[in-house]
Amino acid sequence: MNDNDDLKQELNNENIEAPKTEVINRGNESYLYNFSSSELAIIRNTLYARRGYRFKKKKYQQYFGSKPWYTPTTDSQNILPKNEERLANIIKKYE
């Protein structure tokens, strides 16, 4: 399996630690070029989903609603810790 396959597997497992480590800890924004726009949107929205954000867009309601770990509890988007908020803003630029 090559590095790109590893990245896709991490995304499939909703592991957002790899992007967080690469982009925030190592300052490697070019890491995000390994993902399509739709994959980046899922990564970014996973940050919010893990914090219980209740999505307005149907596609994210359906996507995250199918995940056993997702429990929507808030409509507030101001729920991310600073590092995750920074990551979300960076990812948005690459989508």
Please provide residue 27's backbone torsions phi and psi, each rounded to the nearest 5 degrees: 65, 25
pLDDT of residue 71: 96
Residue 42 near residue 16 (C-beta atoms within 8 A): no
Give the residue among 71, 45, 78, 79 at the shortest CA–CA distance from 59: 45
pLDDT digits (tens, 9 = 90+) for 16-75: 888 999 999 999 999 999 999 999 999 999 999 999 999 999 999 999 999 999 999 999
Q: Which pair of structure tokens corresponds to residue 18?
A: 């790899």
In the numeric block, which tokens belong to residue 36? 């399509």
Looking at the predicted structure, is the pLDDT value of residue 13 above 80? no
- The angle subtended at Cα 89 by Cα 85 and Cα 90, nearest 5°, is 115
Once rounded to an integer, what is the mean pLDDT over residues 79-88?
96
pTM for the predicted model, two decimal places: 0.84
Q: Is the pLDDT of residue 2 over 50?
A: no
